[in-house]
Amino acid sequence: MKLLEGKWALVTGSSRGIGQQIATGLAGRKCNLVVHGRKPGNMARTLELLKPFDVQVLGVSGELSDRQGIRSVIDGVRSGPGHVDILYNNAAIMSAWKPIWEVTPEEWLDIFQVNLLAMIALCNAFAPGMKRRGYGRIINLSSGIRDTPNLAPYGVSKSAVDKYTRDLAAELKGSNVLANYLDPGWMKTDMGGEDAMYPVEDVLPGALVPALLEDDGPSGQLFAAQDYRMLVG
């Protein structure tokens, strides 16, 4: 089992759901964790789940819907471990179900701010340091959603995540900073709903695969967590 001992990972939106699963999965690989929630109190359950693991844990909070909140997350990391080796841009919001032509410009902007622009800001903050150190794994959460015009802002934002990640991978080529995007599958979470195909626990171990890639491994590629359901640990 490959370990990540001595590495630091930031997992946005790790107070619950998929992000919480990723955080505990990384801790099981001996990776130190920066847990993120919108508010400090939101992280209590994840911090409790991480107590049995022999890893260092830091909590940072901040709304990803505004610059001040994003700055709070970045400053929290820099005042703690100072850097991250693994960045999971997991946090996202869902758009309201409505006809595509009824979505207002403000709604489009709100979705893109959290799902894309905040992600870009965190990549801008931490990827250059990864490049200088010659090691990094950036995993941006994508989605398999398609042909669902009533959720167009969410779906389009995730397509933009995919394109940005491929461009980022091209920028980082040869640096051993690998940038990939992850489709977790349709999970039973607050966002995915009770009708989703998979229990949230099934995001592991597949969601960890892009964080565990060997040096100079694939970059700019899609990983689907459910393709690895047969793996153990």
Q: Do 228 and 206 touch, CB atoms closer than 8 A?
A: yes
**Closest by alpha carbon to 203, among 39, 4, 3, 13?**
13
Q: Using alpha carbons, list the distances in angstroms from residue 219 to 26, 90, 189.
A: 20, 18, 28
Please give the Cα distance from 225 to 233 (Å, whole number): 13
Given 154, 181, 198, 228, the catalytic residue = 154
Please give the Cα distance from 31 to 47 (Å, whole number): 14
Q: What H or E segment, with its residue span, contains residue 79?
A: helix 67-79
Q: Are strands 222-224 and 187-188 parallel, antiparallel or unpaired?
A: unpaired
Check if 198 is active-site: no
Q: Name the amino acid, one letter, at 104.
A: T
* Geometric angle at alpha carbon 127, from 94 and 192, rounded to 5°: 20
Number of H helices, E strands in the chain: 6, 9
Positions annotated as catalytic residues are 154
